[in-house]
Amino acid sequence: MKFDQLNLSAPLLRALSELGYENPTPIQAKAIPHVVTGRDLFGCAQTGTGKTAAFALPILEQLQASGLKAAPGKPVVLVLAPTRELALQIEESFRDYGKYLNLRSTVVFGGVSQHRQAEALRRGCDILIATPGRLLDLMEQNLLSLNAVKYFVLDEADRMLDMGFIHDMKKVIARLPKEKQTCFFSATVPAEVKTLSETLLQNPVRVSVDPENSTTDLVNQELYKVSKEDKRALLKHLLQDRQIDHALVFTRTKRGADRVARDLVKSGIPAEAIHGDKSQPAREKALDGFKNRRLRVLVATDIAARGIDVDRLSHVINFEIPEVAETYVHRIGRTGRAGKGGIAISFCTDEEMPYVRSIQKLINKSIPSFQHPYAQ
């Protein structure tokens, strides 16, 4: 299937062509035909499956066709995302796809001054992407009203719940008009997510791709057994291989991420850390440097596991094995995307082997183990 078979208009197809998009991913092929006709949607899909385009393209199509324009402080589209990084990426996608449409988008999130965000709302934006806390702040100051919202997207609902946003989400939902189209996405469907979806969706279409326990065959997984003391030496040794041109390295703690990044920089490897304690400008600068390949290595904690979307990412390295098996799936899902291959390398101590066994049980496959000069 090609994008031009999905009833999208010429301006959207032109933008997609320039981005190098030819064939829709499974979730795009399943979702777009329904969303473009105005149906509510429940999508069970992880980040990395192409779900942003699955809702952004049909919403842009409908918005353009309807001729609806936003009044100051009254967006027509609202997308709610759990993290700043994901919100920024979604807004970037709307801008890229809507390049040839006369529509305005903006993004609002906490951790930075609200001045520029408030100004953008006053000028009027058709599409608003927001994290829950800052959205409610702006609403309480009467800088924003949701009365005109016709299209609502709740992205990564399970992540929202994990991060303790349930009360904020309910406050936002209570302020939305009854008559609207809703797209609801979640990587997993625990009871709380199911209940929330039932209160929001009217006769939804349900689409599902990449169940939670799946790891794509495009990702080659490797395990190196190594002592805790030798992990940093092993990382530097591996990065001597210039074929590892772009690597996302995961640690369990913020301090660990900072330590690894500092150690790499001392060794002449361009690297930065990204985690929740970094200021928003510092996080954006690091992400931008990584996306634009000025940084060879980005060291991240799991807050970034479902918020970083980088084209042609060749390697994910688990410097530490995650304690929750599903987190491994999310981490390595950063590579092996859009039909391109990738490699996921995990460093494992004896103490971390129980975590590896849980991961192998979840993904229903054994991860090949390799010996290395630093693996004692």
Residue-level pLDDT at 111: 84
Residue 128 has pLDDT above 90, yes or no: yes
pTM exceeds cut of 0.75:
no
Residue 337 has pLDDT above 70, yes or no: no
| Distance from C-alpha of 73 to C-alpha of 139, rounded to nearest angstrom | 9
Q: What string of H, E and C letters represents the secondary structure of 117-167? A: HHHHHHHCCCEEEECHHHHHHHHHCCCCCCCCCCEEEECCHHHHHHCCCHH
For strands 247-250 and 181-186, give the pairing: unpaired
Which range is least confidently modeled, 190-194, 213-217, 253-257? 213-217
Q: Give the rounded percent of residues in the chain with a pLDDT score beyond 70.
A: 92
**pLDDT tens profile 155-212:** 989 888 877 888 999 999 999 999 999 999 988 788 888 999 999 999 999 998 865 5
Confidence class for position 321, pLDDT limits 50, 70, 90: very high
What pLDDT score was predicted for residue 213? 55
User: Among 82-96, 126-140, 216-230, 273-287, whose mean pLDDT is lowest?
Assistant: 273-287
Between residues 187 and 150, which one has the greater pLDDT? 150
Q: Which of 304, 310, 260, 307 is nearest to 288 (CA)?
A: 310
pLDDT of res. 376:
41
pLDDT for 19: 79
Domains, the chain, in order of start with CATH, read 3-208 (3.40.50.300), 219-370 (3.40.50.300)
Quick one: pLDDT at residue 7?
85
Q: What is the mean pLDDT of residues 130-137?
A: 95
Backbone φ, ψ for residue 341 (5° rounding): -75, 165
pLDDT band at 323 (very low <50, low <70, confident <90, very high): confident
The answer to whether residue 232 scores a pLDDT higher than 80 is yes
> Which token pair is 354?
């129980």
Residue 108 has pLDDT above 90, yes or no: yes
Q: What are 283-309's pLDDT values in tens digits? A: 788 888 888 888 899 998 875 555 567
Least confident of 92-101, 148-157, 269-278: 269-278
Contacts by residues 165-168 (CB-CB < 8 Å, ≥ 24 positions apart)? 165/82, 165/132, 165/133, 166/192, 166/196, 168/132, 168/133, 168/136
